[in-house]
Amino acid sequence: MTNDIMADLLSMKDEEYKKFHSALMPTIDPESVIGIRVPVLRKYTKDLYKKGGYEDFLQGLPHKYYEENNLHAFLIEQEKDYGTLIEKLNAFLPYVDNWATCDMLSPKIFKTHKKELLNEIDKWINSGEPYIIRFGIKSLMQYYLDENFDVSFAQKVADVKSDEYYVNMMRAWYFATALSKQYEVSVKFLENRILDKWTHNKTISKACESYRISFENKIYLKTLRC
């Protein structure tokens, strides 16, 4: 089945898309990119998931190609048993080597296991691995900025110390989104200069690009630049 999957992936190659998409991911070797458009790969994933028999592929880490990693991510996010999902996810996350695979991975079952998920998020954020940290912060942003919000979650993101661009960009994205949903609490992190300077200023820039933040609040946020 693994050989069949590889043959299928190679048959979906789009050379122009490969050139375009490779340029967006400077952390990975362009030769590891086949060039498959995401909607095409997602459709293939659905068909493969229904057919089954792909467990050998999931066991075949590390993968050679970027799209193999994406297929792996899309397959495990379909998992309906939470415990099995976490097991497969923790086996896979150490091999994630780019922002795109990290950000596209979004297990559906997270929505119904938010209490248990917090334990895993703590482990991910404290892992020391940039894309695992990014995934943990992304999960907090996706599932804990509405009715499940707590200021301690924002503090976890603020407490992350990293020189990694893709970690700090996600931290800024988190706080910009928090400003659109939990403004009164989140703005205190900027007023009190809790974030490092780069993340602080990037948060303000991203917040000012958001259509979900009022014009008046954007004017005020700009005065907080440092």
pLDDT at residue 2 in the model: 84
Q: Which domain holds residue 216?
A: 115-226
Q: What is the CA radius of gyration of the chain?
A: 19
pLDDT at residue 206 in the model: 97
DSSP reduced 3-state for 188: helix
Per-residue pLDDT of the chain (226 residues; tens, 9 = 90+): 788 999 999 999 999 999 999 999 999 999 999 999 999 999 999 999 999 999 999 999 999 999 999 999 999 999 999 999 999 999 999 999 999 999 999 999 999 999 999 999 999 999 999 999 999 999 999 999 999 999 999 999 999 999 999 999 999 999 999 999 999 999 999 999 999 999 999 999 999 999 999 999 999 999 999 9
CATH code of residue 150: 1.25.40
DSSP reduced 3-state for 211: coil
Number of domains in the chain: 2
One domain, residues 1 and 67: yes
DSSP reduced 3-state for 148: coil
Task: Mark which of 44, 77, 112 sits at the end of a domain.
Answer: 112
Q: Which two tokens stand for residue 87?
A: 């097991």
One domain, residues 82 and 158: no
pTM: 0.95
pLDDT at residue 148 in the model: 93
One domain, residues 64 and 86: yes
How is 96-136 classified by DSSP, letter by letter? --SHHHHHH---GGGGG-HHHHHHHHHHHHTSS-HHHHHHH
Q: Which two tokens stand for residue 86?
A: 């976490």
Task: Mark which of 94, 112, 130 sits at the end of a domain.
Answer: 112
